[in-house]
Amino acid sequence: MTLAFDEFRETCRQRVDRNMAASLDAAPPPCPGLEEAIRYVLLAGGKRVRPLLVYGACRALGGKLADADAAACAVEFIHAYSLIHDDLPALDDDDLRRGRPSLHRAFDEATAILAGDALQSMAFEMLGASGGNGNRAEMVRELARAAGPRGMVAGQVLDLAADSAHTSLEELESIHSLKTGALIQASVALGAMSTGKAAPEQLAGLRDYGRCIGLAFQIRDDILDVVSDTATLGKPQGSDEARDKTTYVSLLGLDAARNQARELAADSLAAIRDFGNSAAPLRQLADYIVERID
Ligand code: GRG
C-alpha cells in the first residue's frame, strides 16, 4: 500500500468516526442503556471499508469529502446493525466481534436487537437529512434497496437456507452478491451520488466496480477464515468450517479462491479505467480488499 493510500484511509476513518460520535452527541437516545450499546458497537474498531468506498467514489468524481459524510455514516450504521443481528443466537450465535464480546454478550439479547433496529433507523435519518449535493430521496432509496428484502436481508435468508452439500458456485455468488455485495456496491454508488454530478455512464462504471469488489471482499473473507487466526480477525477463525458452510475456499480450494479474488479486483479496475487520477483511492482500495489481513 502507498503512503498516499494509508493517509487517505486514516483521514476517512477519523472523519467517519468523528461524525458518527457527533451524531450521537447531538441527539442521544433518551435511554442511557441504548446509547451505551450503540457507542459500544460503533466506536470501537472495524475497518470502515464501506465508508472508505463512499469517500473513494466521491473523490473519483472530484467531490469534496464533506459531500459524502452523511452517506459514509449511513452505510457504517447499516453495516453495524447487520453485524449485531448476524451475531445473535438466532443467526450465527457468535460471542466475539472486533476482538470483544459481541453486543448481546456484552449487554443482553433484547438490547442487541433494539440497538440494531435503532442503527438502521439512524442510517436513514442521517442520509435523508437535507443539505449536501445529492438527490436525497434517490440516495435513501439506493440504501433501502441494498439493505432490504431484495439486498442484504435476502442474502442472509438465502445463506441460512443454503444446503452445504449442494450449494453451487453460482448459488454462492448470488448469496454473497446480496448479503455482502449489495451494501458494498451501494456504498460506491452513494459516494458518487453524493457529489450531485455523477453522469449515468460514470455511475454505471462505479456500480460495476462495486459489484466486482464486493464479491472479491467476500472471497477474501472466506480465505481469511481459513488462513488467519482469531486474534487477528477479532472474530472466531474457522467458523465457516465449524458450521459446515459452503465457501469459495471449500468449493474452489485456497489457490483458486485467491486467483478468483485477484481476477475480480482486476475487473473492478477495468470498470473504472476511464476515470483519471481522481480514482486512485478506489484503485488502491481494490488492492487492499484482496490483500487485507483482517
Ligand atoms: C433483520 C435478523 C435480521 C438480519 C439482517 C444480519 C443480516 C440481515 C445480514 C448480515 C449481513 C452480514 C453480516 C454480512 C457479512 C458481511 C461481512 C463479510 C462482514 C464483515 O465485514 P468487515 O470485515 O467488518 O468489513 P469490520 O468489523 O471490519 O467492520
Write the CATH number for 165.
1.10.600.10
The pLDDT value given to residue 1 = 67
Q: b vs e for 175-208, b when ≥16 Cβ sit within 10 Å of the residue's Cβ? A: bbbbbbbbbbbbbbbbbbbbbeebeeebbebbbb
Nearest ligand 1 atom to the CA of 76 is 29
* Burial classification of residue 251, based on how many CB atoms lie within 10 Å of its CB (0-12 exposed, 13-18 middle, 19 or more buried): middle
Q: What is the mean pLDDT of residues 132-140?
A: 93
| φ/ψ of residue 130, rounded to 5 | -70, 165
Question: Of 13, 97, 117, 179, which is best to mutate to test ligand 1, by the most ligand atoms within 8 angstroms of its C-beta?
Answer: 179
Average pLDDT over the chain, rounded to whole? 95
Confidence of residue 250 (pLDDT cuts 50, 70, 90): very high
The pTM of the full predicted model, rounded to 2 decimals, is 0.96
Given a contact cutoff of 8 angstroms between Cβ atoms, the answer to whether 166 and 250 are in contact is no
Q: In terms of Cα–Cα distance, which of 69, 169, 198 is closest to 129?
A: 69
Residues 6+ apart with CB under 8 A from 266: none
- CA separation, residue 264 to residues 43, 142, 192, 214, 220 (Å): 31, 23, 21, 9, 11
Average pLDDT over every residue of 74-103? 97
- % residues pLDDT > 70 (the chain): 100
Is residue 132 predicted with pLDDT exceeding 90? no
What domain range is 188 assigned to? 3-291
- Asked whether the predicted pLDDT for residue 27 surpasses 80, the reply is yes
The answer to whether 289 touches 217, Cβ cutoff 8 Å, is yes
Q: How many structural domains comprise the chain?
A: 1
pLDDT tens figures, 93-128: 999 999 999 999 999 999 999 999 999 999 999 999
User: 82 C-alpha vs ligand 1 centroid, how far in Å?
Assistant: 5
Which residues is 97 bridged to in the sheet?
A: 100
Give the residues surrounding ligand 1 with Cβ less than 6 Å away. Answer: 46-47, 49, 79, 82-83, 85-86, 98, 152-153, 156, 179-180, 221
Rounded to the nearest angstrom, the distance between the alpha carbon of 274 and the centre of ligand 1 is: 32
Distance, in Å, from the CA atom of 131 to the CA atom of 129, rounded to the nearest integer, reads 7
**Residue 242, amino acid:** A
- Residue 274 is predicted with a pLDDT of 95
In the reported structure, the alpha carbon of residue 167 is separated from the centroid of ligand 1 by a whole-number distance in angstroms of 20
Identify the pLDDT of residue 180.
97
